Structure 1
Amino acid sequence: MSIELHRHGDIHEIRLARPPVNALTPELLSALRAAVQAAPAEGARGIVLTGGSKVFSGGMDVPHLMGLDRASLKAGWATLFAAARALADSRVPVVAAIGGHSPAGGCVLALCCDYRIMARGPFRIGLNEVQVGLVAPDAIQHLMRRVVGTYRAERLLVAGSLVESEQAQAIGLVDELTDAEHVLARALHWLEELLKLPSAAMLASRQVARTDMIAALEAFSDDHLDGFIEDWYAPGTQAALQALVARLKK
């Protein structure tokens, strides 16, 4: 199983369940997309997205991707954008309960949620694609800009920075911190309070407020993905990715 589904009344928990670090594969991302889209019809009024106790998600499974041919690689990356769009365009609110580290693709998923609660401690989050020779597409950069502001997003993205939880909260990258064992409970509480509001007005306001994010992700076209794949195969990027795979094997 790449995901687990748990029900807390009318709030559904979708848990990334691919130990040890919930590295994202096309199969996991497709399952996540399907679960998010199916949840409202199954009675969910809200969703909590959770991961591991030390790592929410380590991002895309680079060793797996390195073994794919070009067509499969493109299809694999497309599943990340499809899962991101499903979260951004969810008919019900989604909270990211971030129990640990959340770099790269893990951060992308969290940024598409309505609210982010992170475990307090030496856990890091951010879009660090530059560190492996990749450029986060504008649709992904938009997600960062909308929560931390244009200039701060530029600094973080250009450096490929990962920031610890206290700084992440200070700059608005996450909304609140709590002890690791309370992350899920706080996420459920936040949703429970939100769901006490008049439903039609809350959901309509949410839809208007998220229009920019949904539009940015929907504007990410097949041509943009082709350009990203070309960058993947650039010699410098391949060298950085090979070095990353070697580190992961140690």
Structure 2
Amino acid sequence: MSRGKVNAINEAFVDELGAVFSELATDADTKAVILTGGGKFFSFGFDIPELLNYSINDFARYLKKFCAMYTGMFLFPKPVIGAINGHATAGGCILALTCDFRIMVTGKAKIALNELNIGAAIFAGCVGMLKSAVGERNAEKVLLTGAMFTAGDAQRIGLVDSVTSEETLMAEAKKIADEFSQKNPDAFKTLKNLLRRPAAECFGGGEERSILDFIEIWYSEPTQKVLRGVMINK
């Protein structure tokens, strides 16, 4: 991913990343995918300043696209390795949750579903993905505290699978991707589908309801006041 300094997620970003994964899903030469960012950020999350200029209808369109994108990534038939090179917050953490294996750099980088801290909600599909990764109780801790986790703390609850240094991140990610690539692709696809089916049940009617709830809270006076104060160094 490469959009400015923090990989803030706008509508063009969603369209492009979704299209890339759709293409790679049917590309016979692609055996595994590594998802990473650049600099100090894996992804900041939503491009809040840009989205504040959207009408409610335009924002609803954006959210539906975003949810469709991460659904496709979560159910992607091939191995996806998340090389978390820096901060992965809110929507950035959601992108990380779609991956089959998450490796994160140690140091100052933090990972969080911190929507609550700005007065925002989250989507049903995200809750399903989070529970799949960390379990029911830890999912509650992640969402209801909005805590920012270091790589080590994230590993302890299952939010990431392993940690490494910035210098060795991509080498480690490529090694893991190579190991996954040796597996029988049809067997991998079938097993992944079986494992992710319970979480995928959150996608659908519950997702649509949660999008409506998200919009209502996003446009509430207290949340708008906080959002208008968010600055992104793009």
The one of the two structures with greater contact order (alpha-carbon pairs below 8 A, sep at least 6) is 2
Report which stretch shifted further, 209-218 or 23-32.
209-218
Report which stretch shifted further, 110-119 or 190-199.
190-199
Output aligned runs, 1:113-152, within 5 Å: 113-152=99-138
Report which stretch shifted further, 195-204 or 74-83.
195-204
Output aligned runs, 1:47-62, within 5 Å: 47-62=33-48
Partner of 2:90: 104
- Count of residues in correspondence between the two structures: 232
Partner of 1:32: 17
How many angstroms does 1:77 deviate by? Answer: 1.8
The AA in structure 2 aligned to 1:196 is Q
CA distance in 1, matches of 2:58, 2:136: 34
How many angstroms does 1:211 deviate by? Answer: 1.1
How many angstroms does 1:199 deviate by? Answer: 2.9
Conservation of the 8 A alpha-carbon contact between 1:134 and 1:237: yes
Gaps of 5+ in 1: 1-15
Answer yes or no: is 1:198 the counterpart of 2:180: no
Conservation of the 8 A alpha-carbon contact between 1:139 and 1:219: no
RMSD: 1.6
Question: Quick one: structure 1 residues 95 and 135, their matched pair in 2 at CA, closer, same or farther if it must change by over 3 Å?
Answer: same
The AA in structure 2 aligned to 1:65 is L
Conservation of the 8 A alpha-carbon contact between 1:85 and 1:218: no
Conservation of the 8 A alpha-carbon contact between 1:117 and 1:174: yes
Question: Quick one: structure 1 residues 228 and 77, their matched pair in 2 at CA, closer, same or farther if it must change by over 3 Å?
Answer: same
TM-score by length of 1: 0.87
Runs of 4+ in structure 1 over 6 Å off: none
CA distance in 2, matches of 1:205, 1:28: 30
CA distance in 1, matches of 2:5, 2:196: 33
Conservation of the 8 A alpha-carbon contact between 2:78 and 2:188: no
The AA in structure 2 aligned to 1:21 is V
Question: Quick one: structure 1 residues 139 and 200, their matched pair in 2 at CA, closer, same or farther if it must change by over 3 Å?
Answer: closer
Answer yes or no: is 1:92 the counterpart of 2:78: yes
Gaps of 5+ in 2: none
Conservation of the 8 A alpha-carbon contact between 2:89 and 2:111: yes
Task: Find the residue that maps to 2:229 and give its secondary structure.
Answer: helix
TM-score by length of 2: 0.93
How many angstroms does 1:219 deviate by? Answer: 4.2
Partner of 1:6: none
CA distance in 2, matches of 1:114, 1:212: 15
